[in-house]
Amino acid sequence: MKGRKVLARGTLGTVMQWEPLSSGMCDALVTLDDGSTCWFASRELRPADNLGPLPSRHEAQEAARIKTIAQLKAIREAHVRDFHKPWQGMEYGKAIVGRALDEAIKTVEKNRT
């Protein structure tokens, strides 16, 4: 979405920054053609560059959720594979961290936007 030409409340401008994972009330920083810069809700913006519809917050949030799950699973696999026991009793720490990673994965998978 960054760099797209948009209509923001009837005025042409360019999206300078888009924060789809933040509050939806003001997630797009737009520099208007008159030189002023203002935050807008992306749902208020309309495309003005003939490049098709603007991406939705839901699509961006879903992509971020999928990426987070993949990263957490990779960390979990590395935790199991690469764990070394430097002292006796350390396996209990491995179990605690492993359970925490499993719960994080379950929580992110369950919380669809």
pTM, full prediction: 0.62
- DSSP-assigned beta bridge partners for residue 47: 6
Per-residue pLDDT at 7: 93
Instruction: List the chain pLDDT tens, one digit each, 113 residues.
Output: 889 999 998 899 999 998 887 776 788 999 999 999 999 998 889 999 989 998 888 888 888 889 999 999 999 988 877 777 677 777 778 888 889 999 999 999 887 65
Per-residue pLDDT at 113: 53
| Separation between Cα atoms, residue 88 and residue 12, nearest integer Å | 66
Where are the domains positioned within the chain?
5-55, 58-110
| Separation between Cα atoms, residue 95 and residue 76, nearest integer Å | 11
5-55 CATH choice from 3.20.20.370, 2.30.30.40, 2.60.40.10, 2.60.40.1120: 2.30.30.40
CA gyration radius for the chain? 21
Per-residue pLDDT at 57: 85
Question: Cβ(82)–Cβ(53) under 8 Å?
Answer: no
